[in-house]
Amino acid sequence: MTGETTQKRPPVVVVLGHVDHGKTTLLDYIRKSNVAEKESGGITQHIGAYQIEHNGKMLTFLDTPGHEAFSEMRRRGAHVADIAILVVAADEGIKPQTLEAARHIENAKLPFVVALNRIDKPNADSPRIKKQLSENNILIEEWGGKVPALEVSAKTGKGIPELLDMLLLLWDLEEIPAETGLSTQGVVIESRLDPRRGPSATILVTSGVLKKNDALICGEAIGKIRILEDFKGVEIAQATASTPVLVTGMETVPVLGDTCEVVANAEEAIRRSEALVEKRKEEQKAADALLQAASAGVVAASKHILPIILKTDTKGSEEAIIEALLRMTHDEVALKIIEHSVGDITEADVKSAESTRAAIMGFRVTLPRAVEQYARVRGVRVVILELIYEFIEGVRKELSLLLPAEIVKTQMGKVSLLAIFKREKDGIIIGGRITSGKVVRGAWCDIVRNGAIVSEGKIRELKIAKDDASEAKEGQECGMLYVGKGEVPQVGDAVEVYERFEKRREL
């Protein structure tokens, strides 16, 4: 319990945007220009969040690697960030990941600002990018919307104080429930097994006051806080809401995105942890049953099947991907998820792909060199992708390859049939006058009677008078050896000659 809290806790800011648009540089600049070098010193290990003071107010920045971690945390229902910065390079503009990030922000209902970065570059063109933003439904103030857009340079620092002002202003406008009476809680934003210190986790305190020696439960992990450090690596006795801290003393490594809570004592922690394990088992059973039912249904309705073995980095990605894949339905092709599991690709996966003729689709997993060779020798296709939208597109592409190609016909000429000469072994010799266009030896044609195609085939040989010809034109009479399937041509039919090519279809 905290007692009275008069001041609003600091906002937790997350930085999102397309790769290479400057997220890391921006976070580095803000940290370096606001945290004295000697404090943040090179000795301590840098953790995935930091705090700064700007105009007498604190702000917390999440410094985790991009929106993957953010969406994983959000998926688990942990409300971590309060405000987002959507970084867009002013010399490049909107990219697919910019829009993916914008969707994350929208889904999380976060207030946000757009930082038009790299404004120092000679080819930066923020008016163009602003227009692009509005065209993509990111409604910035200048284009009649509510989202502030600021020009910044993460390299020179231009515009960054204004950006920080804007973040604080947005936070002032946010109404958050009073903290009084809330238990002490947090969210795991990083965790690892430290060779010296054992399981260690970076926890963002979300309410209350976290203290050294507290009995803590983080998801299924339990323990007693042995060391509590701030982001600079300095030992502290306690931490209030929005403070990122490094915690040691847990018995196992807590899972990213899990929520933590201080409990009365170790017995309480054990009881809660066991209850959670049971609950998660039940949820998993239900999810698996749903998946099986869903993929069986999709497959039953279709003809061409693409079997895949799905490997993902986390259970969260797996669920998100399967959900998206199950929405991908088509009359002629379907996906069949033969197996799905979390972890890197193994020889066992390759064996199972070989026997089911499946492709292995991996999401943010690795393919060890030996397994890669093993797959190559067996002719098993392995595709590994790193972004959800790319992954879904990748599967779509694979599925499209199964679609029979579309035959596109472009009309070349028309012949009115005047005579049927004789049947040959593999065709029939017919004669007629070309009423439009031309006829080319070897061309495809349809025999049309009363507006309907009665036979389809090719013109194997072409003669004008008695001479072989490669082409005959409108107005000329010609003889043709027609080879085709369907009914026998009759006088009065039309021969419609066309060029055909195959067009790949896409899902």
* Residues making contact with ligand GDP (CB under 6 A): 17, 19-25, 117-118, 120-121, 153-155
- What is the nearest approach in angstroms of ligand GDP to the Cβ of residue 103? 17
Contact (CB, 8 A) for 227 and 249:
yes
Nearer CB in complex with ligand GDP: 120/372: 120
**C-alpha–C-alpha distance, residues 225 and 214, integer Å:** 6
Q: For the range 386-393, what are the long-range contacts, defined as Cβ-Cβ under 8 Å and sequence gap of 24 or more? A: 387/96, 387/97, 387/100, 388/100, 388/317, 388/320, 388/321, 388/324, 388/363, 389/96, 389/100, 391/321, 391/361, 391/363, 392/321, 392/324, 392/325, 392/328
- What is the nearest approach in angstroms of ligand GDP to the Cβ of residue 73? 18
Kind plus residue range of the DSSP H or E element containing 245:
strand 244-250
- What is the nearest approach in angstroms of ligand GDP to the Cβ of residue 153? 4
Nearer CB in complex with ligand GDP: 119/430: 119
Residue located via tokens 């199950």: 326
Nearer CB in complex with ligand GDP: 18/414: 18
Kind plus residue range of the DSSP H or E element containing 54:
strand 49-54
Nearer CB in complex with ligand GDP: 163/402: 163
Among 261, 205, 259, residue whose Cα is nearest residue 230: 205
- What is the nearest approach in angstroms of ligand GDP to the Cβ of residue 87? 6
- Token pair of 123 as six digits: 């080819």
- What is the nearest approach in angstroms of ligand GDP to the Cβ of residue 95? 11
- What is the nearest approach in angstroms of ligand GDP to the Cβ of residue 64? 12
- What is the nearest approach in angstroms of ligand GDP to the Cβ of residue 21? 5
- What is the nearest approach in angstroms of ligand GDP to the Cβ of residue 154? 4
Contact (CB, 8 A) for 190 and 169:
no
**C-alpha–C-alpha distance, residues 315 and 365, integer Å:** 12
Contact (CB, 8 A) for 497 and 478:
no
Could you give the residue ranges of the DSSP H alpha helices within 151-265? Answer: 160-173
Nearer CB in complex with ligand GDP: 25/416: 25
Kind plus residue range of the DSSP H or E element containing 400:
helix 388-402
Partners of 423 in beta bridges: 428
**C-alpha–C-alpha distance, residues 95 and 18, integer Å:** 6
- What is the nearest approach in angstroms of ligand GDP to the Cβ of residue 116? 10
- What is the nearest approach in angstroms of ligand GDP to the Cβ of residue 31? 12
- What is the nearest approach in angstroms of ligand GDP to the Cβ of residue 91? 8
β-pairing, 494-503 with 444-449? antiparallel
Nearer CB in complex with ligand GDP: 23/441: 23
Q: Which residues, in sequence order, are CB contacts of 362 under 8 Å at separation 6+? A: 310, 311, 312, 345, 382, 383, 384, 385
Nearer CB in complex with ligand GDP: 15/250: 15
Nearer CB in complex with ligand GDP: 154/497: 154
Nearer CB in complex with ligand GDP: 64/242: 64
Nearer CB in complex with ligand GDP: 61/444: 61
Nearer CB in complex with ligand GDP: 151/229: 151
- What is the nearest approach in angstroms of ligand GDP to the Cβ of residue 117? 5
**C-alpha–C-alpha distance, residues 473 and 433, integer Å:** 9
Contact (CB, 8 A) for 84 and 114:
no
* Exposed/middle/buried for residue 349 (C-beta within 10 Å: 0-12, 13-18, 19+): buried
**C-alpha–C-alpha distance, residues 45 and 222, integer Å:** 24
Q: What are phi and psi of 58, to 5 degrees?
A: -90, 150
Nearer CB in complex with ligand GDP: 95/336: 95
Q: Which residues, in sequence order, are CB contacts of 459 under 8 Å at separation 6+? A: 439, 440, 441, 442, 443, 445, 480, 481, 482, 495, 497
